[in-house]
Amino acid sequence: MENRRPKNAVRWVWGLVLAAVAAGLWAAWLGWDQHRDVHPDGSTTGPYEAWQVIGLVLTLLVPVCWAAFRGHGAGAVAGVTAGLTVSAAYDWSDDASGLFVVGVGMVTVGSLAVTAALVALIAAVRRRGGL
């Protein structure tokens, strides 16, 4: 019987590294913008602009794809989902209405679904010998 500990330890390390990367990218793209924009008609938007969220998603593609190509898809899915969920919860926890929990849930489900789909796509392409 072979010892599976080193392989499992590597998976945990990949997950932790990608969680830290996701949290760092959240801070870089979204963490600094905390103010809502008030328009002349009195409506408010924000605090994030579309380009910030798009930038976060595009920069997260690089480590997720890299990990998936290296065979660490589970760590990519778990790590990115955990990193974004913790970052969103920390960033939005000062909301007095309590609705931040809904937003955090949406970030969790969305990041889990998208990273899992991307990792599955990359795994399928790798199995077919495309990459």
Q: How far apart are CA 33 and CA 47, in angstroms?
A: 6
**SS3 letters across 45-65:** ECCCCHHHHHHHHHHHHHHHH
Domain positions in the chain are 5-127
pLDDT, one tens digit per residue, over 108-120 is: 999 999 999 999 9
Tell me the C-alpha to C-alpha distance, in Å, between residue 63 and each of 23, 49, 66.
13, 23, 5
pTM of the model: 0.86
Query: Do the Cβ atoms of 46 and 33 come closer than 8 Å?
Result: yes
pLDDT at 105 over 80: yes
pLDDT, one tens digit per residue, over 6-56 is: 677 777 888 999 999 999 999 999 988 777 777 788 887 778 888 999 999
